[in-house]
Structure 1
Amino acid sequence: MPEPSITLRPYRATDEDAAIELWQRTWQLAYPAIDFAARVPWWRERWRAELVPAAQIVVAEEDGTLAGFVTIDASGYLDQLVVGPSHWGSPIGRLLVDEAKRLSPDGITLLVNSDNARAIGFYHKHGFVDAGDDVNPVSGRPVKRMRWTP
């Protein structure tokens, strides 16, 4: 069986529906008790109004299908790193975090839900350290602030 082909490229407006669908599917699996389908209109507005204009967005495609994305703004804040559930454990997460580090070589900060042990472990594995506890300003959920410095 041939090895899948993973490509990183800049986000295009035509990626919006696939990126939003991937966000919803991924977060729904991570937090099944929350109705992420009901949050899609809010997320689409946030995506269009906050992330697309202010962040660099890089998508990962596997064999031409969107499999993940990362958003990073000029301050080095990583708002989203989403990898489709069928790609968890694949190189896609590492490739996206490495790309974020390339785009923000002076450092990266992010917030991760305190109960998301999988994500926290992923960031630790990729050189991020805990930088204190916080509260997500949007959801009100407890989060860990994490930081990567070169």
Structure 2
Amino acid sequence: MALQHTGGVDSATSRRAGLEDAGAIADLMIRSRRAAIGAIPAAVHPDGDTLMWITTTVVPEREVWLMEDVDSRPLAVLVLDGDWVDQLYVDPAFTGKGLGSRLIELAKARRPAGLQLWTFSTNAGAQRFYLRHGFVVAGTTNGSANEENAPAIRFAWTAP
């Protein structure tokens, strides 16, 4: 069942996430991954493991940002790990409305020396998105080093 969100994405705000947000972050990431199957491989971990990973590793050890509607419900999530965009997911009902762009601009502001990230070779939409935001292809793999065993592309961004 999809969540109902009030207010437009123009009124969405960003904030740092805390441990109290772990369940909402996990839900958003799980729903977003499921909606993207075909463009990306299916998740290899059960939902409960995803929640545990977000609770024990992601939120305590990484920089996590949420975009929220006026009712404080998450619309998108960004996870930064050093100079890596570790995760970027937008609620499937709100893709293409600028939330991901706002989070990438936030990431650039937080990491002005540069960013890098991986995306699956099959995810043409993500590739167009990152190229549009000034990222360039910095390498490719055959997928043997990721859990999904899926070919991937490393993108990098450096400030002009």
Question: How far apart are 1:69 and its partner, in Å?
Answer: 0.7
Q: What amino acid is aligned across from residue 101 of structure 1 in structure 2?
A: K
- Measure, in 1, the Cα distance between the counterparts of 2:107 and 2:158: 12
- Measure, in 2, the Cα distance between the counterparts of 1:139 and 1:53: 25
Where structure 1 has 5 or more consecutive residues not aligned to the other structure, the ranges are none
Match of 1:71 in 2: 79
**Mean CA deviation greater in 35-44 or 137-146:** 35-44
- Measure, in 2, the Cα distance between the counterparts of 1:142 and 1:14: 34
Cα RMSD (Å)? 2.1
Aligned length: 148
Q: Secondary structure at the match of 1:41?
A: helix
Q: 1:56 to 1:118 in 2, by over 3 A?
A: same
Where structure 2 has 5 or more consecutive residues not aligned to the other structure, the ranges are 1-6
Superposed CA offset, 1:11-59 (max 9, x none): 0212111111111111001116966596212222322333223211110
Q: Kindly indicate whether residue 22 of structure 2 is the aligned counterpart of residue 13 of structure 1.
A: no
Q: Secondary structure at the match of 1:42?
A: helix
Q: What amino acid is aligned across from residue 154 of structure 2 in structure 1?
A: R
- Measure, in 2, the Cα distance between the counterparts of 1:31 and 1:3: 26
Structure with more relative contact order (C-alpha pairs < 8 Å, separation 6 or more): 2
1:121 aligned to which of 121, 125, 128: 128
1:106 aligned to which of 97, 100, 113: 113
Question: How far apart are 1:91 and its partner, in Å?
Answer: 1.6
- Measure, in 1, the Cα distance between the counterparts of 2:119 and 2:157: 13
Question: How far apart are 1:3 and its partner, in Å?
Answer: 4.4
Q: What amino acid is aligned across from residue 24 of structure 2 in structure 1?
A: A
Q: Kindly indicate whether residue 134 of structure 2 is the aligned counterpart of residue 137 of structure 1.
A: no
Match of 1:147 in 2: 156
Q: Kindly indicate whether residue 55 of structure 2 is the aligned counterpart of residue 48 of structure 1.
A: yes
Would you say the 8 A contact 1:77–1:109 is kept in 2? Answer: yes
Question: How far apart are 1:140 and its partner, in Å?
Answer: 2.0
Q: Which of the two has greater strand per residue?
A: 1
Question: How far apart are 1:149 and its partner, in Å?
Answer: 0.6
- Measure, in 1, the Cα distance between the counterparts of 2:41 and 2:152: 17
Q: What amino acid is aligned across from residue 110 of structure 2 in structure 1?
A: L
